[in-house]
Structure 1
Amino acid sequence: MSATTRRHAPARRLAAALLLGGVAATSLAACSGGDDPVTSNKKLDEDGDGTVSPEEVMAGAKQKLDDTSGVEVSLSTDDEPSDGDYLSSADGVIVADPPAFEGKVAGRVMGVDASDIPVVSVDGTLYVKVPVLGWNDIDPSDFCAPDPAQLLDPDKGVSPILTSTEDLEAGDSELGGEDNKETLTPYTGTVPGDSVRNILPCAKGDSFDATFRVNSDGALTQAEITGEFFSGEDAITYTIDVEKYDVEQEISAPE
């Protein structure tokens, strides 16, 4: 297996992974226990009309992502493309200033399952640790992928997807999170393909179905995005969990 091929799959799929896909939650028609749902959070009622609209919730969730020092994230998908390489899971830390990422990915590379592949991005350079060959630096744009360290960028990262989502609707509150104690509110909508392509330039679909879960504080805890990510493949759902906010971690280039 060539180093170039091994570099290609982790970088390209990592971008999709970090954008997209879960946290198990127990759906309840009327949420019992936990905090009040985000729809009761008057801090988000920007127009002062006494109602917290879906658009106000998304604006607040975007602001929390834009303001955080860093996040812990994890990715999983139950879907598997019929052919080719893909990313099945990822986890790591993104810090905002200076932008950096450190984590591990797993998936299928050249038809072979691979797991626990270390990835680091600092100073605009993405490093992937290739088995046997060691660390290799690559340019994500060569593989139609963004730098994962830039996924907290307030203009071209993940957060703008929240405010660009159309036809937003709130669902029934749920209990989820650690020990099933958090009150989460799901919001469904349609994400324009151009918004997704800001973070995954090769996404093929014109639009994507999305479900976002937001806790009572107005923070995004999970995003599910479903659509045509790979040409010629059926729709795939990627789920990303934002497991922790305000993370501070020093990330440096591998030696």
Structure 2
Amino acid sequence: MTLRDGSSLASSATASLLRRMAAGALMGGLAITSLAGCSGGDDPVTENTELDDDGDGEVTPEEVMAGAKEKLDATSGVTIRLSTDDEPDEGDYLASAEGTLIADPPAFEGDVAGRVMGAEASDIAVVSVGGNLYVEVPVLGWQIYEPGDFCAPDPAALLDPDTGVSPVLTATEGLEEGESELGGDDNEETLTPFTGTVPGDTVRNILPCAEGDEFDAKYRVDADGFLTEAEITGEFFPGMAAITYVIAVEEYDVEQEISAPE
């Protein structure tokens, strides 16, 4: 763990960073690499008839998002990675986050990094379990916080089917399908991009401090209907210009026991 500005900032810096953690947990990263047009691989997700809920022979973007939500709601857990290439000239922000989310019992374990009170912070360990946030603060060691102390939800609850990440998918408006492309391991998976806008009120269910009225979204879904990446752009933090976060869902059906630090 590194704080360039000295350990005296530890406690307040941690609180400031936690206010930004929701964006890290939201949907919730790897920078997206430009990929060539699809050739080979599986059929696009819109040809997956299992997602044709109304049986009309056509898989719509809305049906794809509904299917992706169901898969997130059904998983035992996921590993996620988040990052942004946008670094504001001033102000606190979340640069990256990665970790594991478990659905039952709800839990999160991972690391975050960013700028807090003008100081660069990296490898800050965070555990959320049993309704408490445990943060490894420089010098002080593990400290306990309640999620309600910050402008952020409990990251352990982000797989909740009603109030977590997955409802963002089905709340996305104006969905449009893009041209399928190859990606994933060894560029062997067919990924289909979808774009749309997410109402600010929906984002505020995840990040109460979000300022924007709406957020631009771009999702990538594999041929089986699993969300693999989400790119969200908008005004996440008060007084800060719009930034883009990219979240990669790297693995589904993760099973891991997460407990409070000793």
Q: Which amino acid aligns with 1:188?
A: T
Aligned pair 1:97/2:104, yes or no?
yes
Alpha carbons 1:26, 1:175 under 8 Å: kept: no
What is the aligned partner in structure 1 of residue 69 from structure 2? 62
Alpha carbons 1:25, 1:174 under 8 Å: kept: no
Aligned-partner SS, 1:27: coil
Alpha carbons 1:176, 1:182 under 8 Å: kept: yes
Aligned pair 1:73/2:80, yes or no?
yes
Aligned pair 1:22/2:22, yes or no?
no
Which of 46, 65, 69 is 2:53 aligned to?
Answer: 46
User: C-alpha distance in 2, partners of 1:111/1:160?
Assistant: 34
Aligned pair 1:244/2:251, yes or no?
yes
Deviation, 1:82, is 2.8
Aligned pair 1:116/2:113, yes or no?
no
What is the aligned partner in structure 2 of residue 234 from structure 1? 241
Aligned pair 1:136/2:143, yes or no?
yes
User: C-alpha distance in 1, partners of 2:165/2:109?
Assistant: 17
- Residue-by-residue CA offset, 1:9-57 (whole Å, 9 max, x unaligned): 332222111215535444344x112211101100000001111000000
- Residue-by-residue CA offset, 1:75-111 (whole Å, 9 max, x unaligned): 1000112322211011100000000000011111221
Gaps of 5+ in 1: none
User: C-alpha distance in 1, partners of 2:81/2:20?
Assistant: 14
After superposition, residues 218-233 of structure 1 pair within 5 angstroms as: 218-233=225-240
- Residue-by-residue CA offset, 1:197-248 (whole Å, 9 max, x unaligned): 0010100000000001000010000111101112222110011100000000
User: C-alpha distance in 1, partners of 2:151/2:19?
Assistant: 7
Q: Which amino acid aligns with 1:246?
A: D
User: C-alpha distance in 1, partners of 2:207/2:141?
Assistant: 26
Aligned-partner SS, 1:62: helix
User: C-alpha distance in 1, partners of 2:186/2:32?
Assistant: 11
User: C-alpha distance in 2, partners of 1:252/1:14?
Assistant: 20
Bigger shift: residues 191-200 or 131-140: 131-140
User: C-alpha distance in 2, partners of 1:140/1:79?
Assistant: 26
Which of 246, 250, 260 is 1:253 aligned to?
Answer: 260
Aligned CA RMSD, in angstroms, stands at 1.3
What is the aligned partner in structure 2 of residue 149 from structure 1? 156
Q: Which amino acid aligns with 1:198?
A: N
Alpha carbons 1:77, 1:89 under 8 Å: kept: yes
User: C-alpha distance in 2, partners of 1:201/1:72?
Assistant: 24
Bigger shift: residues 9-18 or 125-134: 9-18
Percent identity for Structure 1 against Structure 2: 70
User: C-alpha distance in 2, partners of 1:119/1:171?
Assistant: 36
- Residue-by-residue CA offset, 1:167-200 (whole Å, 9 max, x unaligned): 0000000111121111100000000001100010
User: C-alpha distance in 2, partners of 1:193/1:141?
Assistant: 20
Aligned pair 1:82/2:89, yes or no?
yes
What is the aligned partner in structure 2 of residue 126 from structure 1? 133
Alpha carbons 2:14, 2:116 under 8 Å: kept: no
TM-score, normalised via structure 1 length: 0.96
Aligned-partner SS, 1:240: strand
Aligned-partner SS, 1:17: helix
What is the aligned partner in structure 2 of residue 191 from structure 1? 198
Q: State the number of aligned residues.
A: 254
Alpha carbons 2:13, 2:116 under 8 Å: kept: yes
Q: Which amino acid aligns with 1:180?
A: N
Which of 33, 36, 40 is 2:40 aligned to?
Answer: 33
